[in-house]
Structure 1
Amino acid sequence: MKKNQSIYLFVVLLSGIVFTACNKLIGIGAPKNQLVTESVFKDTISIEAAVLGMYSKLANYNPGTDVGTATSLFNGLSADEGYYFPGTFYDDFKNNALTPTLYYIDGYWSNLYNVVYTANSIMEGAGAAALPEGYKNRVMAEAKFVRAVCYFYLVNEYGEVPLVLTTSVSESNVQPRDNVGKVYDQIEKDLTEAQAMLPSDLRYYGGNRTRATTWAAGALLARVYLFRGKWSQAGAAASTVIGNPGLFSMQPDAAKVFLANSQEGIMQFVNAIPSSWMATNLGASAAAVTPNFVLSDSLYAAFETGDARKANWVGIKVYGGKNYPYPAKYRYINGVGAVEHAQLLRMAEQYLIRAEARTQLGQFTDAAADLDVVRKRAGLGNTTANDKPTLIAAIEHECRTEFFCEWGHRWLDLKRWPGIANPAVTRADEVLGKEKGTLWQSTDMLYPVPQPARNVNVNLTQNAGYTN
């Protein structure tokens, strides 16, 4: 116990050094303190604290706008998943009327780059430290995995972004945006290298799923391949994860999917802020009169009769004589509820990735079989889809009801899929143009580059559709 307490205290103290140094990255001014690599990364205890701090920052930093909660909330509002009930606080997202000066846009950008800086500092510090080679390679691989996570969301939310691979703030503060392909190439490189160095089981992590493994790197790599249209690689990567030696599998009970160390979890964030903030920002406590986030009518209607996801992942609040459905995947609030971990990567996605890849490759029977694995857990019968058009529609439907209000899946999918009626536009244009009318513009698919960052870094250009 004393050892754990000491490590926790060191994480807190180290966070004050590392995070203060990096919270000015990418056009937010010069840092007041610079990380002293030699003293911070002098032994395995200190490097372990730095790595735990990196995960903590990705999951827990700035409650309410931490990466997981912000992605789920902001992207859900930007798409067609629902609206914020208590007032107009997040209407800029719901109405796709974001501006470069909006606090949350700046906070989201800054949080992601702060974690990138921390990952870079770990790679530089561990690389220069006198550490056992196997341990050094593993923690550097964890940092590469986390950096890849950050850049995946940066490039999908903002488009072209500066690809920062160093801790030099003087360099990053004048660095222009890199094209999307270059950023994705680095994501693939980081994940491929991490996959080769990360552990293939959970023994290093005490049996917990809260740190990266080779399977987590492979799972994210499968998603990246899918987003880039590399169908064969996406299917193969997903198959590798699905064929893991008994470490991960579909959780047959929908009510247990989001519990700590659920067998479905490939990569989770430890309980506390991620779960409780997901619950409070996207859901409702038992004592709350109204929910915070209400599901859209179209999403609520998308659930088929008997779908266990609707029964277990959707709550209802009655207010003013009307039912308001809300996301209830997470229910842990201030010590009340089951112990949960926030899911970053889980097995259901791997089956749906492989289903989409197989559909694009013309392997329709196998694609339908993958869909049926997910539908079976939901208590539904096998899909009737049997060709490319019907399978594409079925995959979209299944992704919507499986991943609603979860890490921006719906928002990112709509933006990458071509339109069904008109492949010359995106599925976002078709769906959100109908859902939101004149509030929707094609340029809304990318968030604005925050103005505070551009005020410092004059080389940061703005996305189309934004005046500043």
Structure 2
Amino acid sequence: MKKINNTIYAFAFVASGLVFTACNKQLDLAPEDTTVETEVFQSASSAESALMDVYNKTYEANNGAAYTIGDFTTDLLVVSNSYYQIVINGELPVDNSTSKSIWADCYSTINVANVMIESIPKLGTYNEDLELQHIAEAKFLRAYNYLVLLKLFGDGALTGNMNGLGLPLQLTPYEGTRYDAANALTRSSVGEVYAQIIKDLTEALVDLQEAYEDDLETRARATKGSVHALLSRVYLYKGDYEKAASEANFLIGNVNYALNSNLRSVFPLSSGYDVNLDKEFIYAIPLTFNNGDHQYGTHFFSYYSKVSYYVPEEFISKYSDTDQRKTTLIWKGYEGANGQHPTKFTTSKFNNSDSRDNIPMIRLSEMYLTRAEALVRTSGLTQEAVELLNEIAGRADLSFTDYVLGDFATADELIDRILLEREKELCFEGLHRYDLIRTGRKLQDKDLPENRYVLPIPKSEIDITKGSLEQNPGYL
């Protein structure tokens, strides 16, 4: 882990020369001068430092509400925070800070990735294979952040509307230091954004490693495995189930990844520093090793204290009494200085009192369940899908009795059971909202109109482009 974090901190002194990171014009994130870039890309170590800033910015773009919105807008949580209730009810104003910060942070990350992708071929003077790997890692991270934006802001992106309003596809660094509204990008279609994400990932696949010498880097940096896993998620969201199943299959049986029968080992009690990543993690954001609250530090997930939200009994009752996901991964957490939350439960996947935990982004169990669902959607009732479901349900609960194919009368029955297992297995990992939307089910607010399943495009972005950047229809 030291290698990752040392390079992150080393980049602090050159970051300002690569990109403006505090700009009110969210897409106006420009390289300051090529002299600094030339120096950065002269050596592998300084280039890797620059690359680590893209990883760090990915963390910044995926902490706080950007991550937890995937769960607190669903029935997995009871929300007591009034602002989060506004998000749940689809009542966010178009100038709200939540959508603005997610938009700004993701595009800030994308822009630094663009600097890497464009500058290394022009200015790099170090080992060519390592240059190609660094470009591939930047493409993986650009794709990851575009998917974050697409599932939150893309109109119809999770319901199959490939002609819906997608995102501005900024694929090169901004030139100069001033925003020029005349050159502002319009929103590409949902289908075009998916195509670019898939293109980035497909190109990245060629030059990435299967694994690193340091196992923690294998889980925290882009690899061939994390590309296949993200492609599987992309195809699932896009509704291309045959490809979703195929990509997920790359991870199942792969020697670099394994399910763990002890879920406390997957989500250990966090000391706040140097917490290992289990082999079940395909891609995760690790916390910093030096106990600081910078870069990979506090994630701002309000689980431990149960002040903003807590887990309801209705959800907990979906588990058997012998399921580790209930007995080990649901707990009371912090009850309050005056014991005001003694009966409220929370997830112990994030259990550090200072919000310093590893952040799961893609786990192997997701790939089992993605392949299972996708197989049923393409081939109907299949034995392999049932076996994949049994693997995930059975490893969590020793009392679980395996299903047989005859237990399901229809393909829809099996899909419903797989989706329930996704809910129980991947809860509080920022994914449930998107599973509900893509399968036509309701979010926590059952009366929320579908055109408000996406967030509003920040008003400041629309204003600065003089309206060429269109607002999502639900907020007009």
Asked if 2 retains the 8 angstrom alpha-carbon contact of 1:77 and 1:93, the reply is no
Equivalent position of 2:266 in the other structure: 257
The CA distance in 2 between the partners of 1:221 and 1:401, in whole Å, is 23
Equivalent position of 1:421 in the other structure: none
| SS class of match (1:266) | strand
1:295-330 CA distance string (max 9 Å, x none): 244423322332211122222266558621212201
Which consecutive unaligned segments of at least 5 residues does structure 1 have?
418-425
In the alignment, does 2:370 pair up with 1:353? yes
The CA distance in 2 between the partners of 1:270 and 1:330, in whole Å, is 12
Higher helix fraction: Structure 1 or Structure 2? 1
1:362 equivalent among 376, 380, 390:
380
Asked if 2 retains the 8 angstrom alpha-carbon contact of 1:241 and 1:350, the reply is yes
Name the Cα RMSD after superposition: 2.8
1:241-287 CA distance string (max 9 Å, x none): 1132x210111111111352201011121214698644x52322xxx
1:415-455 CA distance string (max 9 Å, x none): 111xxxxxxxx22xxx33xx5344x1111211110111112
The CA distance in 2 between the partners of 1:88 and 1:79, in whole Å, is 15
Equivalent position of 1:221 in the other structure: 231
166-175 vs 110-119, greater mean Cα deviation: 166-175
| SS class of match (2:246) | helix
In the alignment, does 2:197 pair up with 1:187? yes
The CA distance in 1 between the partners of 2:218 and 2:30, in whole Å, is 35
Equivalent position of 1:151 in the other structure: 146
Asked if 2 retains the 8 angstrom alpha-carbon contact of 1:123 and 1:143, the reply is yes
Aligned residues: 436
Equivalent position of 1:396 in the other structure: 419
37-46 vs 104-113, greater mean Cα deviation: 37-46
Equivalent position of 1:412 in the other structure: 434
The CA distance in 2 between the partners of 1:242 and 1:12, in whole Å, is 38
Instruction: Quote the offset at 1:335 in angstroms.
Output: 9.3
Provide closer, same or farther for how the CA distance between residues 437 and 199 of structure 1 changes in structure 2, counting only shifts above 3 A: closer
Equivalent position of 1:299 in the other structure: 315
Asked if 2 retains the 8 angstrom alpha-carbon contact of 1:152 and 1:187, the reply is yes
2:213 equivalent among 177, 200, 203:
203
In the alignment, does 2:51 pair up with 1:51? yes
The CA distance in 2 between the partners of 1:5 and 1:214, in whole Å, is 22
Asked if 1 retains the 8 angstrom alpha-carbon contact of 2:78 and 2:312, the reply is yes
Task: In structure 2, give the amino acid aligned to 1:238.
Answer: A
Asked if 2 retains the 8 angstrom alpha-carbon contact of 1:276 and 1:330, the reply is no
Asked if 1 retains the 8 angstrom alpha-carbon contact of 2:381 and 2:414, the reply is no
Equivalent position of 2:134 in the other structure: 139
| SS class of match (2:172) | coil
Instruction: Quote the offset at 1:74 in angstroms.
Output: 2.0
Instruction: Quote the offset at 1:16 in angstroms.
Output: 3.0
| 1:278-357 matched pairs, under 5 angstroms | 278=299, 281-284=301-304, 290-316=306-332, 323-334=343-354, 340-357=357-374
| 1:97-176 matched pairs, under 5 angstroms | 97-128=91-122, 129-159=124-154, 160-168=166-174, 174-176=184-186
In the alignment, does 2:65 pair up with 1:70? yes
Asked if 2 retains the 8 angstrom alpha-carbon contact of 1:238 and 1:354, the reply is yes
**Scaled by the length of structure 1, what TM-score is found?**
0.85
Equivalent position of 1:456 in the other structure: 464
Equivalent position of 2:272 in the other structure: none
Equivalent position of 1:423 in the other structure: none
1:66-88 CA distance string (max 9 Å, x none): 41433332222223222443x42
Task: In structure 2, give the amino acid aligned to 1:58.
Answer: T
| SS class of match (2:360) | strand
The CA distance in 2 between the partners of 1:462 and 1:84, in whole Å, is 28
The CA distance in 2 between the partners of 1:171 and 1:233, in whole Å, is 40
Asked if 1 retains the 8 angstrom alpha-carbon contact of 2:4 and 2:217, the reply is no
| 1:31-50 matched pairs, under 5 angstroms | 33-34=32-33, 36-50=36-50
Provide closer, same or farther for how the CA distance between residues 142 and 308 of structure 1 changes in structure 2, counting only shifts above 3 A: same
| SS class of match (2:234) | helix
**Scaled by the length of structure 2, what TM-score is found?**
0.84
Provide closer, same or farther for how the CA distance between residues 389 and 56 of structure 1 changes in structure 2, counting only shifts above 3 A: same
Work out the percentage of aligned pairs sharing the same amino acid.
25
Equivalent position of 1:94 in the other structure: 88
Task: In structure 2, give the amino acid aligned to 1:358.
Answer: L
Instruction: Quote the offset at 1:31 in angstroms.
Output: 5.2
Provide closer, same or farther for how the CA distance between residues 241 and 101 of structure 1 changes in structure 2, counting only shifts above 3 A: same
